[in-house]
Every structure is written in C-alpha cells, then in structure tokens.
Amino acid sequence: MAWAVSGIGVGEGLALGRAWVLAPASFDLPRRSLEQDQIPEEKARFSAALEVVSAEFDQLRATLGQDPAAEVRAFLDLQSIVLHDPLLVDATHARIETEACNAEWALVQQFELVAEQFDSIEDPYLRERKADVQQLVERVLKVMQGAEGLSSALKQQRSQDLPVDLPWILVAHDIAPSDMLLIREHQFAGFATDSGSPTAHTAILARSLGLPAVVGLQSLHGLVKQGEEIVLDAASGTVLGSLDAGLRADVHQRLAEERLRNERLKRLKSLAAVTLDQVPISLLANLDLPEDAQAALDAGCDGVGLFRSEFLFMNRATPPTEEEQFNAYSQVVQTMAGRSVTIRTLDSGADKDVPALSAGRQIPTNPALALRAIRLCLAEPELFLTQLRAILRASALGPLRIMIPLVSGPQEVVLARRLIQQAMDQLSSRGLAFDRAVRIGAMIEVPSAAITIDSLLAHIDFASLGTNDLIQYTLAIDRTDSEVAHLYEPLHPAVLRLIRDVIKACDRAGTSISLCGEMAGEPGFTQLLLGLGLREFSMHPIELLRVKQEILRSDFAALSRPTGRLLRLPDAKRIRAGLPNLSKSSPQDLRSTTA
C-alpha cells in the first residue's frame, strides 16, 4: 500500500525518482584519551579535515561561477565564516591539547557549547543558522571518519547495479554544503530532508535552485530504502512511496502536464504583459543584491520595483561607504539599461537585523515595532545622508526612483525629503551629477499610511504596497513567528479593503501604485489584484512568467466590474504551500469583502 509523509513544501512542482538516502554523521562519538606525543598529530588531523571541507567550498564557489544567487552566496559566506570561527576551530584545537582527547570528541563538545548560544538568540532567522553550523560540523566529522562524500558515494553507486531508470531524489537528515554542488552537478530532481523550516537554508536553497523540496519531514530518511521509488510533491508538502500502478500513472500524467506548462511558459518571455482587453501591466523585479539584476532581466522584467538596499549592510562590521553603495546602485541601473529602478532606502530591523547598526543599541521588546527602517534613518541622519548621496549619484546613470519604507504618515516623508534636499546640496557643492527631478515614493505597509493614503499623496510621487508587512501589522501577526503563521491571512477582508482603497486613491490622484509583497508573485492572486485595479506587480523574478500567463488570460475591465465575471478561485493548495492558512473563501466571498 502507498505511504505518505507530510512536511513543508518548498519551491515548485513535483518529482518522481529514486531515493538516494544520505546517512547522517553521528554526533554520539566516544572519547579517546591520547598520549602527549599523539596530540600534535591529532591537531593536524583536525586541520586537514578543515582544509578538505574548505576546498569543497572553493570548488563549489568555482562551479557556481561569478554570480551565484544572492541566497546561495550568503549561505556560502556564512559557512566560510563558521569554518574559521575561533569558538569552533581554535577552541577545538585547545580542547584536544588541554584534555588530551580525540578531535571528533573535542569538536562535538565545542559544537554543543556554540549550539547553546544559538538557542538563546531571539531572532528566528539567526537561531536557525544553528542548523548550518551543525551541517558544517557533520561534514568535518565525516571527513575525519573517512566517510565518503555524496560525490564518491554516487560514483560508487553508479558502478553498482542500481536502477538508473529514474532521476535521483536526495533524502537526507539535512543537506550539507558540499552536497549542494552535487545537487546541481548530478541534476537531482528534488530533495527531502528531515530537518528544516521555511526559513532554514535548505528551503532558501531550494527556491534559488528552482527545485521542488519537502523539508521538516522529521524521520523520513530512516523510513525510505536506498533506491526506492518515491514522489516528492512540493505543493502539498508530501513524500509518497510504495506507489501502485494507478498512482504512478497519475504522477506521470501530472509530470507531463508540468513539462508542457513550463515549455509554454518559456514562450511567454518575449510577449508583452497585456490583458485580453489590451491593458498593459508592468512586471517588475524584487532584488536583494545587484548581482541578481541580470537574472531578472533575463526573466523579462520591465524594471526593478524593489531593490532591498539593506542587504548591502548585512554580513559586515560597518555600514557600506557612499562609494560602495554607489557602485551597487549603479550596477543595477546600468544592468537595467534604461528600465526604471526603484531603490528602497535602508529597511533594517525586525527580521532583517543589521548587526553593524544594532550593535550598542538596546534589544527592542518588539523588533517589528521598534526604531527601524525610516525611523532609524531619521534618527541617524549621517547614515541616511550617505545612502541618499549614493542613490542620487546613481540616478545620473538612468531612471531611478527612491522609495521610503515603513512610512506611517506624511511627517516621515516630509523629513525624508528635507534630507534628500540636503544630500542634493552636498552633491552639488562637490560638483557631482544627479537627477534633480528624482521621484520619491513610499512603501504602503503600515495600516495608518494605507488608511490615510489621501493625506500622503500630496507628498509622494509614487507608492508601493508592501503586503508582507501590511498583513503583519493589520492582523497583528508576527510574520517571523511560526506559532502564529497559520493566522497570516492575505485574503483577510481588512487586508483586501486596504489594498483596494490604496489603489483607488492613487488612481484618483494619478499617482503610480505597485504591489511588491509576496502576493504579487503568486499567480493565484493575480486576477484578484487585477480586479482590485492593480497594474504594476513587483516580484521575485522566478515568478514572473507564471504571473504573466495569468495576466494574458485576464480581462481587466471584467475583473474590475462589480457585476463582472467571478474572480477565479485561487489554487488553495498551491497558495497554502507558500502563504500559510489561506481562507477557504469562495469567489463570491472575495467579491463581497471588497465590494
């Protein structure tokens, strides 16, 4: 009989393949006492294992080329930092020496100390980085124990008589960094891990590799046999095994449909995003780092609707200089070759802690409501002026707009504009070029700004709905807290009314309005948003073609009419995979919430 195990689906699609089960390294290792003269040799053995793992990273970097996705690079950088961390490396060496013990035991003891420190971190994203450290330690342990990496294991297994009729699906307790290389090289169809949550790096990795994955399966790797035929369904977050003929045929049909859909999607790249009734829709990209601009362009974006500048401030001890920031913004503007680029000023704080800025400040009781984003920039004018000068200088190179995050009302925009003027004066006195008519807009993501949008409009040239935060603040749901994730509801009537009212107010005033939260990249919401009057969508480039497909089959006028054709019911299963707790609203319900 077929079996199914549930976890959290990540990424796209469905995969049918044979399980390649990767055994985890054991942390339950015996302590071996050493003679004094054995200690140097033991320390050398530990150093050699670190070098092997370090070389694996170098190989991985080389394979990823010049511009790996920002998430992958950030992950690799973190692993490299950990690999040289004194608390893990120097302290393990010291332990081998002072306790005259084997390197494996010393490393595991040291890891447990580090793990305790991670457990006490409040920020869930940083807390989950413990899993990254654990994987690194696992890899070092495996090397010291002479265990094969995935690469040699695969080669060995290829020489055995295992079936090669289907692609491999990697099943592991967790995926080690060195295995990332193999996932790419050997073209795995997907992966399934026991550990992980939507913000853990395996999930981030799956998204950036465009592979289907299911994480958080608890103990799958102990259940599945090597080479067993399994199905991985990212949409429902399930892994299925012991397939019978009916189920197998069903899966083959779904895979064929998916292939066809993807082929059709690629053909849409060169088509303009226009609705059936000829309303042009702008499809813009959300970028975290300048290196991602080329991929966005390749995906066919019309420009950049959101450049999250705060990522330039992360993973470093001090904020980036004006010159460093100028280079980053210029790169985006130049890559976009005449297309509009919206740079959001520093949106630090809450889930995006910037240690270089938070060091020395008291830890806020409510990080999402604290001195962050524009509030911090107004409190630290020199920091803000440096960024504004860099952005303004890039505005001389192509169309660029400045967007202010977390605006709660007109006053912040008035103060920000004063500082923008001051930055312009500073550049003029240095004889540097910039766009004097640069457009200045606001993120509409705080309910007060959405409710009083009319009073804001006199102060801004454009607006962008940040629904990720607008939902969080409207529904009082911390978007990073997994215990309330099921209450995070994009289709809540309060949220839909705010979106509708902001779009209508902007339309009346002739002010450009876009939406750059995750909702924009979810095809199940495309018709709903068109029906609310939205004409500018900004999203992760990977979502662009699927949203374009929805647009091409939509009638803008009919969707906007109260008596028009009913909104298509969003594909609840698919949406629920990315956006938890979709209400079971019918199209009529959705209509009535916004009527």
Minimum separation from the CB atom of position 442 to Mg ion (A): 12
Annotated catalytic residue 201: yes
Annotated catalytic residue 173: no
Question: Which residue of the set 93, 201, 459, 492 is catalytic?
Answer: 201
| Amino acid letter for position 367 | P
Residue 583 near ligand PEP by CB under 6 A: no
Residue 517 near ligand PEP by CB under 6 A: yes
Residues in the chain: 595
* Alpha helix stretches (DSSP H) within 17-88: 39-64, 70-83
Q: Which residues lie below 8 Å from residue 562, measured CB to CB, with a gap of 6+?
A: 591, 595
Minimum separation from the CB atom of position 347 to ligand PEP (A): 6
Closest by CA to 521, choosing from 297, 306, 276, is 306
Within 98-117, the residues that bind ligand PEP by CB under 6 A are none
Minimum separation from the CB atom of position 192 to ligand PEP (A): 28
Q: Which residues lie below 8 Å from residue 469, measured CB to CB, with a gap of 6+?
A: 368, 406, 443, 445, 446, 479, 517
Instruction: Lay out the site mask for Mg ion across 207-226 (x = CB under 5 A, - = otherwise).
Output: --------------------
**Using CB distances below 5 to 8 A depending on partner kind, what does residue 467 bind out of Mg ion, ligand PEP, none?**
ligand PEP
Within 389-448, the residues that bind Mg ion by CB under 5 A are 445
DSSP of 504-551, one letter per residue?
HHHHHHT-EEEE-SGGGG-HHHHHHHHHTT--EEEE-GGGHHHHHHHH
Residue 347 near ligand PEP by CB under 6 A: yes
Residue 303 near Mg ion by CB under 5 A: no
b/e per residue, 134-162, with b = 16+ CB within 10 A?
A: bbbbbbbbbbbeeeebbbebbeebeeeee
Instruction: Lay out the site mask for Mg ion across 310-349 (x = CB under 5 A, - = otherwise).
Output: ----------------------------------------
Within 258-317, the residues that bind ligand PEP by CB under 6 A are 306, 308
Closest by CA to 56, choosing from 182, 193, 169, is 182
Q: What's the rounded Cα separation, in Å, for the pair 103 and 148?
A: 19
Q: What's the rounded Cα separation, in Å, for the pair 538 and 305?
A: 5
Give 405's strand partners. none
Q: Which of 138, 353, 435, 469 binds Mg ion (CB under 5 A)?
A: 469
Q: Which of 88, 131, 516, 545 binds ligand PEP (CB under 6 A)?
A: 516
E strands, 373-472, in order: 400-404, 439-444, 462-465
Residue 305 near Mg ion by CB under 5 A: no
Question: Which residue of the set 101, 506, 516, 540 is catalytic?
Answer: 516
Residue 467 near ligand PEP by CB under 6 A: yes
CB 517 within 8 A of CB 182: no
Closest by CA to 142, choosing from 41, 267, 50, is 50
Residue 288 near Mg ion by CB under 5 A: no
Residue 179 near ligand PEP by CB under 6 A: no
Minimum separation from the CB atom of position 134 to ligand PEP (A): 28
Total of chain residues touching ligand PEP, rule CB under 6 A: 10
Q: Which helix (H) or strand (E) holds 595?
A: none
User: Which CB sits closer to ligand PEP, 144 or 582?
Assistant: 582
Residues acting as catalytic residues:
201, 516
What residue ranges bind Mg ion (CB under 5 A)?
A: 445, 466, 469
Binding stretches for ligand PEP (CB under 6 A): 306, 308, 347, 445, 466-469, 516-517
